[in-house]
Every structure is written in C-alpha cells, then in structure tokens.
C-alpha cells in the first residue's frame, strides 16, 4: 500500500512539472496568470479594432477620422477602413466665404424693360455687376449633411449708366440732372452690410454637392456716383441717393466643392420715398466661390 501511494505521489509530481513547463511555453511564465492573459488579449483586440484621431480645420469643422479594422467572416481577411465622422457642433468664427461675382439687372414691376419714368437708369448689362462676400458666421451643424447658420458680410452693386446724368445730393425723392459732359464712365453704386440666414444641405457620398437657400437682409452703408471724363478726369460723389436703408429678399446657391452659382432677389424697392421708382427692384446672379 505504501509503495502504491509513493508511486502515485511521484507520478503527480512529474505530471505537474511537465504541465507547468508546457504552460510556460505558451506564454504564461514570469508570474502572468491565465486570467491576466485573457484581459490583456481583450484590451489589445479592442485597441486594434478601433482607433480615433481628431483634428480641426480652420473653417471650424470638427472632423473625426475613425479607423475601423474589419474581419471577413468567410476567409478571415482583415482590412482597415477610414471613415470621416462630423459631430453636431456650434459654428462660430471669422471666415472668408461665399464670394459672389455676377451681374445685376433691374426689374421694373416684374419687367426687364424699364418704364419711361425709370429710363434714366438704362445701363450697360455686362458692366452692371454685383460683388459680395461673408466675413463672419454663427450657427449649428446638425450632422455632415445639414447645417443652419447666420452670416454677415458686404455686398456691392455697381450700375454702369448709359446716360450722362448726375444725381442730386440730399434730395427726396430721387432726382437727377442731364450733364453737358460726356462721361466715359458713369457708375452708380450702393454698398450694404448683408445678413443672410442659410439652410445648407450637403449631398453625395463625400457631401461635395451643396445646396443652400434662405432669407437675406441688408443695411445701407453708402451710396456713390463715380465719373470719368476728359474734362474732369476722375470724380466721385458720396450720398445715400434715397437707396433703401434696409432691404430684404431671398437667395439660392448650388455648387460642387468650393465653386457654384448663386441668385439673389430683393422684395422691397431699391429706392425709398421716391414714388416714380415704386416697384423698381434688384435681381443678381452669377458665380460663387468658397462655398
């Protein structure tokens, strides 16, 4: 009986030693238990499966690059895919965007032909232009496909007149005089602080196609008339010329990446306290850059 017990004890001791060495070969040596190894493998797998790198652009857009490690269930192949995510975020900051460069036309009670009362405003179509851009914006981006924001910027309208007329200063209603001088350039201009409210949609896999629309308002900053002639050289006169102190309308934009087209129409009259110019309104359209 003692011999049998001794033999069993020796066998158990040898098997335990062999089992322990085999465990060491599998990476369980140096005091690392099987439970610790399982936890380390889980952490390593989680770390390799998803990694996140965040960075911000100067345009205030918060982008997250999520690198995902995918495993094919059929053949066991592994691949890494980078997907850009945009989180909801407040938009606030200085910008230079939505640079408009286009033509302006006058609508006289819905007609592109000026009435006899407004014939003095006949202009050179290709030299009657609209220029504008935004310098500040504030709003909220709901997701990568839609954002709503209000912006502020400047907007100029330059009407190149065909007739040699001079507008009277500090008069109401708007009045003018025929000049004896022929002007090589007779430009009648207005500048406004523009404040649009924009609903912007981004379409497509990369959101490169963009559509924007909304109301737009503007406060008059200045009016001017600039002359150029052989007799007088260059001359400029500043006045509000009865331009509307506040104008309001609607706009629409469509573009791809950073370039597109725009159109703006103002619902109120160009001039105020001028009955003969009632129904005379401003419509602009053209190219837009830096969407």
Residue 41, in any domain of the structure: no
Residue 102 tokens read as 């286009």
Please give the chain's pLDDT, 291 residues, in tens.
Answer: 444 444 444 444 444 444 344 334 344 444 445 445 554 554 455 444 444 433 333 344 444 344 444 544 445 555 554 545 567 899 999 999 999 999 999 999 999 999 999 999 999 999 999 999 999 999 999 999 999 999 999 999 999 999 999 999 999 999 999 999 999 999 999 999 999 999 999 999 999 999 999 999 999 999 999 999 999 999 999 999 999 999 999 999 999 999 999 999 999 999 999 999 999 999 999 999 999
Domain co-membership, 106 together with 142: yes
Dihedral sign for Cα 44, 48, 50, 56, please.
positive
Whether 211 and 77 map to the same domain: the answer is no
Q: 263 and 179 share a domain?
A: yes
Q: What are phi and psi of 226, to 5 degrees?
A: -120, 130
Q: For residues 82 and 94, state if they share a domain.
A: no
Q: Provide the residue range defining the domain that includes 266.
A: 89-289
What CATH number corresponds to the domain at position 238? 2.40.160
76 and 209 belong to one structural domain: no
Spell out the SS3 assignment of 60-88. Answer: CCEEEEEEEEEECCCCCCEEEEEEEEECC
Run of H or E residues at 21:
helix 2-23
Total count of domains within the chain: 2
Nearby residues of 32 by Cβ (< 8 Å), 6 or more positions away:
none
Nearest C-alpha neighbor of 136 from the set 194, 216, 179: 194
pLDDT computed for residue 87 by the predictor:
78
Q: Quick check: is 12 in a domain?
A: no
Burial label for 88, CB within 10 Å (0-12, 13-18, 19+), is exposed
Q: Is there a domain that residue 174 lies in?
A: yes
- CA dist 128 and 103 (Å) reads 6
Same domain as 99, residue 56: no
pTM for the predicted model, two decimal places: 0.72
Helix (H, G, I), strand (E, B) or coil at 241: coil
Specify the pLDDT at position 77.
Answer: 54
Cβ 267 vs Cβ 282: under 8 Å: no
């Amino acid at each position: 009986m003692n011999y049998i017990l001794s033999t069993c004890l020796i066998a158990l001791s040898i098997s335990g030693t062999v089992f322990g060495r085999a465990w060491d070969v599998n990476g369980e040596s140096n005091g690392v238990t099987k439970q610790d190894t399982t936890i380390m493998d889980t952490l390593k797998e989680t770390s390799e499966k998803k990694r996140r790198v965040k960075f911000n652009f100067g345009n205030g857009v918060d982008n997250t690059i999520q690198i995902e490690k995918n495993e094919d269930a059929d053949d066991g192949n592994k691949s890494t895919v980078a997907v850009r995510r945009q989180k909801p975020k407040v938009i606030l900051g200085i910008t230079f965007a939505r640079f408009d460069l286009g033509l302006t036309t006058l609508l006289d009670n819905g007609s592109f032909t000026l009435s006899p009362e407004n014939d003095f405003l006949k202009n050179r179509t290709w030299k009657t232009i609209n220029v504008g851009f935004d310098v500040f914006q504030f709003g909220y981006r709901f997701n990568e496909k839609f954002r709503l924001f209000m912006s502020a910027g400047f907007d100029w309208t330059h009407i190149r007149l065909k007739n040699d007329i001079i507008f009277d200063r500090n008069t109401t209603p708007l009045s003018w005089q025929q000049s004896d001088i022929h002007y090589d350039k007779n430009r009648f201009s207005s500048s406004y602080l523009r404040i649009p409210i924009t609903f912007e949609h981004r379409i497509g896999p990369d959101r490169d196609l963009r559509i924007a629309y909304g109301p737009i308002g503007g406060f008059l900053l200045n009016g001017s008339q600039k002359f150029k002639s052989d007799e007088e050289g260059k001359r400029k006169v500043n006045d509000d010329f009865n331009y509307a102190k506040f104008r309001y309308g609607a706009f629409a934009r469509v573009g791809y990446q950073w370039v597109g087209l725009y159109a703006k129409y103002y619902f109120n009259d160009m001039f105020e306290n001028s009955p003969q110019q009632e129904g005379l309104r401003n419509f602009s359209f053209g190219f837009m850059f830096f969407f």
